């Protein structure tokens, strides 16, 4: 990205940019849903335990790896990892740190465009007078192929390109531009979140209706914060909590390492990484849990929330609920909600552009403008199919393989590199060099043994998820000599399209649709593999150039 002499302008800017990288759409869209689907308070305890045992160690690891590579002039994970061990395999493992960001930003900026458009719809009162079904239909119409004589969603496509263009422009200004956005966006995000959280916490049962007479916002709050200790023995809850850590901290992506590579050699990473991590937790746990679930429970009741909790609530339910507060506060709430989602999205997507730009700058001498434009073009080529074929699962394929599986694999491998190949003794010295706080020695043991084991369990859990995610039942059956039945959501089942085939069997009238879905899902995977291969090819070519220069 920026030239090798570029660095962060201030510590505040660095922390806000790192926190902005972590604080993303998942804090408000994924976390509340995961909490509801995994027992509310039963989810919080494993989540916080995993944050300490996996989240904080991964932050220490990635900040250390990034700063170590940066002092040698490397600003992307292929050569950051190569600087820690010269075996060729590590630079190609580092490809994950570029690939994942492009794969994710390709569809992530599409969601960003939804948030920006919904801000405008909130201001002009588009949702005024709509019932729940009408608001839901509006969203479904927006992301489908309807509404265009050419079979192309022209307005969503234009919005997507526009938002991607905003990202490219900011990236072209370098770290300074990213820092400015973080300094503006993060305080506004927190302000908007606090406004909505206060409203959610003070609703009580004031908005109970004849249709939902038991509605009470406090039911949502109590559900999220009342521990159910019996659920602590359920592996499903622990795996869900561990998985959420990846989404909430942006670990396993390569963007943290890139940001950290622009630190000075003896600049603190211990306190900075912890501060960025806890800023993210404040936003996710305190604000993220105080908006969607309590507000929905306050209008529709907790039973409705338990039955309908999902990603779509943000766009299909919240606009309708805001209208119940009257025309003035409906606008305020809509701007706050979709505005905070936009800032959460853009501070994360900007971070996703830096690994590609850092690589192209280091290896090919491309400046900020050229690097940003090339990133935008690659992201656009990858992303347009997610808009055109959203209904056929293109979006979901990118999210699963690029935004989930890839993260876990890369995090596991980089942890092994840092703790076992580079060596934990050297790694511990790297973490503590220039540190403004003394890290408890127990973290050295956690990072060496506990974190890698947890990451391995997360990967195995995704690989062989049992039917209905019933781990206790599956383990019991296995001990009794019965076969292990895979869930349709397991990695193995998804790899063979079993999840889609099961949907096809359940809906025989839609067979043609599911055949197309299998075709486009395969096409999406092919495109992801080609992207990974292209980056590997660039790394191979750049390694030859490095060898020539060294000889």
- Tell me the percentage of the chain whose pLDDT exceeds 90: 68
Could you read off the pLDDT of 487-520 as tens digits, one per residue?
988 999 999 999 999 999 999 999 999 999 999 9
Residue 4 — pLDDT band, cuts 50, 70, 90? low
Q: Residues 515, 519, 524, CA angle at the centre, nearest 5°?
A: 145
DSSP state of 422: T
Dihedral over Cα of 49, 251, 338, 183: its sign:
positive
Dihedral over Cα of 293, 249, 492, 454: its sign:
negative
439/68 Cα distance (integer angstroms): 18
Q: Which of 2-11, 165-174, 199-208, 453-462 shows the lowest per-residue confidence on average (mean pLDDT)? A: 2-11
Residue 233 — pLDDT band, cuts 50, 70, 90? confident
314/53 Cα distance (integer angstroms): 30
Could you read off the pLDDT of 413-461 as tens digits, one per residue?
999 999 999 999 999 999 999 999 999 999 999 999 999 999 999 899 8
DSSP state of 392: G
Closest to 457 measured CA to CA, from 125, 87, 50, 159? 50
Is 109 within 8 Å of 164 (Cβ atoms)?
yes
Dihedral over Cα of 481, 487, 490, 492: its sign:
positive
Number of Cβ within a 10 Å radius of residue 501: 14
481/59 Cα distance (integer angstroms): 41
Which of helix, strand or coil describes residue 423?
Answer: coil
Residue 147 — pLDDT band, cuts 50, 70, 90? very low
* pLDDT at residue 149 in the model: 39
Task: Using the predicted structure, report yes or no on whether residue 282 has a pLDDT greater than 60.
Answer: yes
Mean pLDDT value across residues 325-329 = 92
374/534 Cα distance (integer angstroms): 14
Helix spans in 132-174 (H): 132-143, 154-172
Task: Using the predicted structure, report yes or no on whether residue 227 has a pLDDT greater than 80.
Answer: no
Task: Using the predicted structure, report yes or no on whether residue 367 has a pLDDT greater than 90.
Answer: yes
Q: Which carries the bigger pLDDT value, residue 274 or residue 310?
A: 274
Dihedral over Cα of 232, 237, 241, 243: its sign:
positive
Q: What is the DSSP string of 271-322?
A: HHHHHHHHHHHIIIIIIGGGTHHHHHHHHH-HHHHHHH-STTHHHHTHHHHH
Task: Using the predicted structure, report yes or no on whether residue 150 has a pLDDT greater than 50.
Answer: no
For residue 381 the two structure tokens come to 């080529």
Task: Using the predicted structure, report yes or no on whether residue 198 has a pLDDT greater than 90.
Answer: yes
277/511 Cα distance (integer angstroms): 46
* pLDDT at residue 3 in the model: 45
Q: Which carries the bigger pLDDT value, residue 233 or residue 312?
A: 312
Number of Cβ within a 10 Å radius of residue 512: 9
* pLDDT at residue 473 in the model: 87
356/1 Cα distance (integer angstroms): 7
Which of helix, strand or coil describes residue 466?
Answer: strand
Residue 240 — pLDDT band, cuts 50, 70, 90? confident
For residue 92 the two structure tokens come to 């190609």
Dihedral over Cα of 290, 293, 298, 303: its sign:
negative
Q: What is the DSSP string of 356-370?
A: HHHHHHHHH---HHH
Closest to 54 measured CA to CA, from 488, 443, 382? 443
For residue 531 the two structure tokens come to 């992207």
Q: What is the mean pLDDT of the chain?
A: 91
Mean pLDDT value across residues 137-141 = 87
Query: Per residue in 353-371, is it b (16+ CB within 10 Å) or e — as a string?
Result: bbbbbbbbbbbeebebeeb
* pLDDT at residue 1 in the model: 39
Helix, strand and coil in the chain, % to nearest 5: 75, 0, 20
Residue 208 — pLDDT band, cuts 50, 70, 90? confident
For the ranges 34-48, 203-217, 290-304, the maximum mean pLDDT occurs at 290-304
Residue 153 — pLDDT band, cuts 50, 70, 90? low
- What is the tally of helices (H) and strands (E) in the chain? 30, 0
Q: End-to-end alpha-carbon separation of the chain, Å? A: 26
* pLDDT at residue 151 in the model: 53
Q: Residues 67, 70, 75, CA angle at the centre, nearest 5°?
A: 115
336/192 Cα distance (integer angstroms): 5
Is 92 within 8 Å of 539 (Cβ atoms)?
yes
Task: Using the predicted structure, report yes or no on whether residue 384 has a pLDDT greater than 80.
Answer: yes
37/308 Cα distance (integer angstroms): 10
- Tell me the percentage of the chain whose pLDDT exceeds 70: 97
For residue 307 the two structure tokens come to 């039955």
* pLDDT at residue 224 in the model: 87
23 CB-near residues (< 8 Å, 6+ apart)? 186, 189, 279, 280, 283, 284, 344, 347, 348
298/221 Cα distance (integer angstroms): 10
Number of Cβ within a 10 Å radius of residue 328: 8
* pLDDT at residue 43 in the model: 87
Is 240 within 8 Å of 489 (Cβ atoms)?
no
339/195 Cα distance (integer angstroms): 12
243 CB-near residues (< 8 Å, 6+ apart)? 34, 404, 458, 462
Could you read off the pLDDT of 251-277 as tens digits, one per residue?
999 999 999 999 998 999 999 999 999
Which of helix, strand or coil describes residue 486?
Answer: strand
Mean pLDDT value across residues 61-66 = 97
Mean pLDDT value across residues 279-286 = 91
**How big is the chain by its Cα radius of gyration, in Å?**
23
Residue in the block written with tokens 């922390």: 15
* pLDDT at residue 419 in the model: 96
Q: Which of 16-30, 40-54, 230-244 shows the lowest per-residue confidence on average (mean pLDDT)? A: 230-244
Which of helix, strand or coil describes residue 413?
Answer: helix
Q: Which carries the bigger pLDDT value, residue 7 or residue 56?
A: 56
Is 444 within 8 Å of 424 (Cβ atoms)?
yes
- The CATH architecture of the domain made up of 11-463+497-550 is Orthogonal Bundle (1.10)
């Amino acid at each position: 990205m920026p030239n090798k002499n570029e660095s962060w302008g201030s510590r505040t800017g660095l922390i806000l940019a790192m926190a902005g990288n972590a604080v993303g759409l998942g804090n408000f869209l994924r976390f509340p849903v995961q909490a509801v689907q995994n027992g509310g308070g039963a989810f919080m305890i494993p989540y916080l335990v995993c944050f300490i045992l996996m989240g904080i160690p991964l932050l220490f690891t990635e900040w250390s790896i990034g700063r170590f590579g940066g002092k040698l002039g490397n600003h992307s994970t292929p050569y950051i990892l190569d600087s820690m061990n010269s075996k060729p395999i590590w630079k190609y493992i580092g490809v994950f740190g570029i690939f994942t960001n492009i794969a994710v930003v390709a569809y992530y900026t599409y969601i960003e465009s939804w948030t920006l458009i919904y801000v405008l719809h909130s201001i002009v009162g588009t949702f005024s007078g709509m019932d729940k079904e009408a608001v839901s239909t509006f969203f479904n119409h927006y992301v489908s192929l309807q509404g265009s004589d050419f079979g192309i969603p022209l307005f969503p496509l234009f919005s997507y390109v526009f938002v991607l263009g905003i990202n490219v422009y900011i990236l072209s200004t370098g770290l300074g531009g990213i820092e400015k956005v973080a300094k503006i966006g993060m305080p506004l995000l927190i302000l908007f979140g606090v406004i909505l959280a206060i409203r959610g916490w003070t609703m009580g049962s004031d908005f109970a209706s004849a249709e939902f007479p038991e509605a009470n916002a406090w039911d949502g709050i109590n559900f999220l914060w009342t521990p159910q200790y019996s659920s602590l023995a359920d592996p499903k809850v622990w795996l869900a909590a561990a998985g959420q850590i990846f989404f909430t901290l942006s670990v396993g992506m390569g963007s943290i390492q890139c940001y950290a590579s622009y630190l000075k050699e003896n600049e603190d990473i211990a306190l900075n990484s912890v501060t960025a991590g806890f800023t993210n937790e404040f936003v996710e746990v305190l604000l993220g849990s105080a908006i969607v679930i309590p507000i929905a429970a306050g209008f529709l009741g907790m039973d409705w929330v338990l039955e309908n909790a999902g990603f779509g609530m943000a766009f299909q339910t919240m606009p309708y609920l805001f209208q119940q507060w009257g025309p003035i506060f409906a606008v305020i709430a809509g701007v706050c909600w979709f505005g905070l989602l936009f800032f959460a999205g853009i501070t994360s997507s900007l971070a996703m552009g830096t690994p590609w730009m850092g690589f192209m700058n280091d290896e090919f001498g491309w400046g900020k403008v050229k690097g940003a434009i090339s990133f935008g073009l690659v992201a656009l080529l990858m992303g347009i199919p997610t808009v055109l074929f959203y209904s056929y699962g293109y979006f979901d394929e990118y999210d699963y393989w690029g935004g989930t599986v890839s993260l876990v694999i890369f995090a596991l491998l980089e942890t092994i590199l840092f703790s076992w190949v580079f060596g934990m003794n050297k790694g511990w010295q790297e973490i503590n060099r220039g540190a403004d706080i003394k890290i408890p020695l127990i973290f050295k043991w956690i990072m060496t043994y506990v974190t890698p084991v947890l990451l391995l369990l997360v990967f195995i859990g995704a690989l062989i998820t049992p039917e209905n995610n019933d781990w206790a039942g599956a383990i019991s059956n296995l001990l009794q000599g019965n076969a292990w039945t895979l869930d349709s959501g397991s990695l193995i089942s998804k790899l063979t399209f079993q999840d889609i085939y099961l949907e096809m069997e359940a809906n025989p009238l839609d067979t043609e649709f599911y055949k197309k879905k299998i075709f486009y899902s395969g096409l999406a995977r092919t495109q992801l593999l080609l992207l990974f291969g292209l980056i590997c090819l660039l790394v191979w070519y750049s390694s030859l150039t490095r060898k020539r220069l060294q000889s």
